[in-house]
Amino acid sequence: MGRLEIHNLTFRDRGPYSLQINGGECVGLQGASGSGKSLLLRAIADLDPHGGSMRLDQMECADVPAPQWRKSVAMLPAESSWWLDTVEEHFKNFSAISKDYLAQLGFDSEVGGWQVSRLSTGEKQRLAILRMLENRPGALLLDEPTASLDAVNITNVEQLLLEYGCDNNVPLLWVSHDPDQLVRVADRCLYMHPDGKLTAYGENDGC
């Protein structure tokens, strides 16, 4: 794993944006509602049309199929999608999921057989994190990953995601509306202004 490099990224009349996130580093992103934080993550994940260039270590986004890029540069949306009946059907091999990961997020192996219809919003989000990590991504784009969680689960998710980044030398871009959370998790922070301008945390009285 290694560094995520974004050069002159443009989308929907916004940008250009250029930033680098080193392996094992967590960069926090704050900003007003509607400023484009989620759109930035979607563009980096190659989910929406964009200009500019992106590289993860030696892999260029433009040189690989979009699904390959998204497997390596994984985005966790604020609200996850579930389309089959049971939890395990949404995983490639649920039985191979780390029992430590399951326990850290408050589950055991029996959760694989649960009906999705019985899951709470918070349970869906924690399981979506496990689903994302199953692919062993090389970069994480996290859009309010703990917004639907209680205090205990917020702590557990923060710990798991930071440990994954540190242990695997994976860069993290973490969107949060909670400045206290970013103090806990981020090595440095960015602020997206209502006009889409991106500055270092605190510049131009943004925070």
Chain segment 122-154, per-residue pLDDT in tens: 999 999 999 999 999 999 999 999 998 999 999
User: How crowded is residue 138: how many other Cβ atoms within 10 Å of its Cβ?
Assistant: 20
Q: Which residues pair with 143 in a beta bridge?
A: 175
Cα separation of 44 and 67, whole Å? 13
Give the H or E element holding residue 193: none
* pLDDT of 205 strictly over 50: no
User: Averaged over 160-167, what is the pLDDT?
Assistant: 97
Which are the contacts of 144, defined by CB distance < 8 A and separation ≥ 6?
78, 175, 176, 177
Chain segment 79-127, per-residue pLDDT in tens: 899 999 999 999 999 999 999 999 999 999 999 999 999 999 999 999 9
Tell me what pLDDT residue 1 has. Answer: 61
Q: Which domains does the chain have, with CATH numbers?
A: 4-83+136-205 (3.40.50.300)
Tell me what pLDDT residue 203 has. Answer: 44
* Closest by CA position to 132, among listed 45, 59, 53, 54: 45
Instruction: Record the pTM.
Output: 0.94
Tell me what pLDDT residue 2 has. Answer: 85
- Calculate the dihedral angle through the C-alpha atoms of 28, 31, 35, 36, rounding to the nearest 10 degrees: 10
Tell me what pLDDT residue 92 has. Answer: 95
* Closest by CA position to 194, among listed 186, 182, 180, 206: 206
